[in-house]
């Protein structure tokens, strides 16, 4: 079978441009259906039984022709006044590229939305994406940028409604978070500053839903000494590249950093303090995500080295679910770890929850929130469960005959849980302060438009979470699987420098990881893109 012959949705472009975003937009309308994109003349011969959108990118006009099952619809958008798009030497640098793209995506959005239901291919279900044409994982990035450039709230709201076709509740959520982010960042020194991420790829166990590069400490702990030696070498080298620039925030994540022993954790933090101006940072976060990895000795080490923010993550307070997903700790351990941290003086503690875990409904989620209320953490981050291809949960669910039905039911439950969370946040005086959408989701998840939201009480927001999502500052990322984001202030673009994911490869190739960052003059100019190979 040739390329694309198993697809039910075909996009045919007169020339290859914006192809990735158009494919993502089509997929958001038809979750679970295969969509392929072709340049005119290369499309498969038989398209009459597929939904086909032919898009002609003209000099002053974009023409969309959608056809299937005997129905045919054409619509067009005028793009006069943007200059000679087709003869521009570098279209990616064209001053009106964003307007051209938005006109095109808006045209495709309404073309797919209004196509007659009865003429869709057999078995294809259409859902209109609540986020409209916003296909990226960072929906707040656009409105926040407009607000920081001086546009009014009402102006940006009109843009979200018209250009991006967002449903009213999504636009309101997006804009309220963007305004909050803009207030938090407006007076920060970001241009000549950076944030630091340090990755620890060890965990007590690997959770069933996890798709991150993490390794059970029980099996891979024998590599921790060599890993930390390599990491300290990278920390020392990176510090030399960052001299003279202000450090905004530090984030130690993973994995689970507190999977390390107290001695290992103390040695790592001592290295960070000796190489970077940690006391200068506005915040210093350490993920203590697994309550079963937290001890009083480790908490003391964190406090002594100036850590100001912890994340202690129950995910759920239902013991049956914890056992199912492989957390291997009790709900009571979460409570004990939380109060242990409070006793050590930590006054900024986040707790992560997952909406849509197997076997849970909105009643279970409400019960978890009830128990969280008794702890009163300073922030709560809610993630919607996405069954990613790299997770063991994907394999487990696909073994059941009811997988597709259960997946759809879980999507509905997740939406209910987020409504419950919004009510809870209002009652407990939490405000949403950052948001992102899932990427590379399997099946229907990720196309439903459900987002992950961080809620915090006033003054307890995590700046690093905002900066990593909005890509307004260089993030220097160290450790296995870490991806440095070099922000070019002039061009407003981000270049990535990636480390290998495998612990053993990272140890063996640490000099290469350092060279990737130092090539071309360091982190902050001419950085070469590294490989993401394992």
Q: What is the DSSP string of 316-354?
A: -S-HHHHHHTT--S-HHHHHHHHHHHHHTT---EEEEEE
Report how far Cα 474 is from the mean position of its chain's Cα atoms.
17
8-state DSSP, 211? -
- Kindly report the backbone phi and psi dihedral angles of residue 45, in degrees, each rounded to the nearest multiple of 5, phi listed first: -70, -35
| CA gap 192, 489 in Å, rounded | 9
Which of the 8 DSSP states describes residue 531?
P
Residues of the chain with pLDDT under 70: 1-6, 83-89, 91-92, 207-213, 387-410, 439-450, 520-534
Fold of 322-347+349-459: Transcription Regulator spoIIAA (3.30.750)
Neighbours of 474 (CB within 10 A): 28
Report the phi/psi class of residue 469: left, alpha or beta, with left for phi > 0 and alpha for psi in -120 to 50: alpha
CA gap 246, 258 in Å, rounded = 27
Here the tokens at position 510 are 């640490």
Q: For the beta carbon of residue 34, count every other beta carbon within 10 angstroms.
A: 13
Distance between CA atoms of residues 363 and 368, nearest Å? 9
Q: What is the reported pLDDT for 530?
A: 38
Q: Using CA atoms, how far apart are residues 197 and 467, in angstroms rounded to an integer? A: 12
pLDDT one-digit tens code per residue, 234-289: 999 999 988 889 999 999 998 999 999 999 999 999 999 999 999 999 999 999 98
User: What is the per-residue pLDDT for 136?
Assistant: 84
For the beta carbon of residue 379, count every other beta carbon within 10 angstroms. Answer: 23
* Euclidean distance between CA atoms 56 and 63, whole angstroms: 5
State the pLDDT at residue 128.
92
Pairing of β 71-78 and β 379-384: unpaired
Q: CA 325 to CA 208: how far, in whole Å?
A: 5
One DSSP character per residue, 428-474 reads TT-EEEEEEE--S--TTTTTS--EEEEEE-TT---HHHHHHHHT-SE
CB 245 within 8 A of CB 196: no
Pairing label, strands 483-488, 451-456: unpaired
CA nearest to 285, candidates 305, 311, 247, 255: 311
Q: How buried is 69 (Cβ within 10 angstroms: 0-12 exposed, 13-18 middle, 19+ buried)?
A: middle
Burial 276-306 (b: 16+ CB within 10 A, else e): bebeebebbbbbbbbbbbbeeebbebbeebe
Provide the 8-state DSSP code for 192. T
Residue 345's region, left for phi above 0, alpha for psi from -120 to 50, else beta, is: left
Burial state string for 111-147 with b = 16 or more CB within 10 A and e = fewer than 16: bbeebeeeebeeebeeeebbbbbbbebbbbbbbbbbb
pLDDT computed for residue 395 by the predictor: 55
pLDDT for 359: 82
Alpha-helical regions (H) of 276-308: 296-304
DSSP code per residue over 351-418: EEEEET-TT--HHHHHHHHHHHHHH--SEEEEEE----TTSHHHHHHHTSTTHHHHHHHHHHHHHHHH
**Residue 260 is encoded by which pair of tokens?**
């390390």
Sorted by where each begins, the domain ranges of the chain are: 1-124, 129-185, 188-308+473-526, 322-347+349-459
């Amino acid at each position: 079978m040739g390329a694309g012959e198993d697809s039910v949705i075909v996009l045919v472009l007169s020339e290859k441009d914006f192809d990735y975003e158009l494919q993502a937009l089509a997929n958001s309308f038809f979750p679970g259906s295969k969509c392929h994109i072709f340049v005119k003349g290369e499309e498969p011969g038989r398209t009459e039984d597929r939904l086909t959108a032919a898009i002609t990118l003209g000099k002053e006009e974009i023409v969309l022709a959608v056809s299937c099952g005997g129905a045919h619809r054409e619509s067009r958008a005028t793009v006069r006044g943007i200059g000679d798009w087709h003869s521009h030497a570098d279209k990616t640098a064209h001053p009106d590229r964003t307007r051209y793209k938005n006109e095109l995506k808006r045209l495709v959005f309404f073309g797919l939305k209004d196509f007659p239901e009865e003429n869709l291919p057999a078995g294809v279900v259409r859902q209109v994406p609540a986020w409209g044409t916003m296909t990226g994982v960072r929906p707040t990035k656009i409105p926040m940028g407009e607000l920081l450039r001086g546009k009014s709230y009402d102006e940006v709201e009109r843009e979200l409604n018209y250009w991006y076709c967002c449903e009213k509740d999504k636009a309101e959520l997006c804009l309220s978070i963007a305004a909050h982010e803009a207030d938090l960042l407006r007076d920060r020194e970001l241009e000549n500053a950076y944030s630091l991420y340090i990755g620890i790829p060890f965990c007590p166990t690997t959770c069933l839903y996890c798709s991150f590069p993490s390794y059970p400490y029980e099996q891979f702990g024998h590599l921790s000494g060599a890993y930390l030696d390599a990491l300290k070498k990278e920390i020392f080298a990176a510090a030399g590249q960052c001299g003279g620039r202000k450090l905004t925030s530090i984030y130690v994540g993973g994995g689970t950093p507190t999977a390390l022993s107290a001695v290992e954790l103390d040695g790592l933090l001592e290295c960070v303090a000796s190489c970077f101006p940690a006391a200068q940072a506005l915040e210093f976060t350490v993920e203590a995500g697994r309550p079963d990895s937290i001890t009083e000795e480790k908490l003391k080490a964190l406090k002594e080295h100036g850590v100001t923010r912890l994340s202690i993550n129950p995910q759920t307070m239902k013991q049956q679910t914890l056992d199912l997903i492989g957390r291997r700790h009790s709900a009571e351990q979460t409570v004990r770890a939380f109060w242990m941290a409070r006793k050590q003086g930590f006054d900024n503690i986040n707790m992560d929850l997952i909406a849509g875990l197997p076997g849970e409904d909105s009643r279970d989620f409400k019960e978890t929130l009830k128990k969280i209320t008794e702890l009163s953490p300073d922030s709560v981050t809610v993630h919607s469960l996405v069954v990613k291809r790299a997770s063991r949960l994907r394999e487990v669910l696909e073994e059941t005959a009811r997988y597709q039905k259960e997946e759809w039911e879980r999507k509905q439950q997740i939406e209910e849980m987020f409504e419950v969370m919004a009510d809870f946040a209002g009652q407990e005086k939490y405000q949403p302060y950052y948001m992102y959408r899932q990427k590379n989701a399997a099946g229907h998840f990720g196309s439903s438009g459900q987002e992950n939201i961080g809620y915090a009480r006033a003054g307890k927001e995590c700046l690093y979470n905002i900066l990593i999502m909005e890509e307004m500052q260089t993030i220097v990322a160290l450790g296995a699987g870490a991806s440095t984001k070099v922000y070019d202030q002039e061009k407003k673009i981000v270049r990535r420098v990636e480390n290998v994911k495998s612990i053993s490869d990272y140890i063996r190739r640490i000099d290469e990881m350092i060279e990737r960052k130092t090539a071309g003059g360091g982190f902050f100019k001419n950085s070469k893109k590294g490989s993401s190979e394992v």
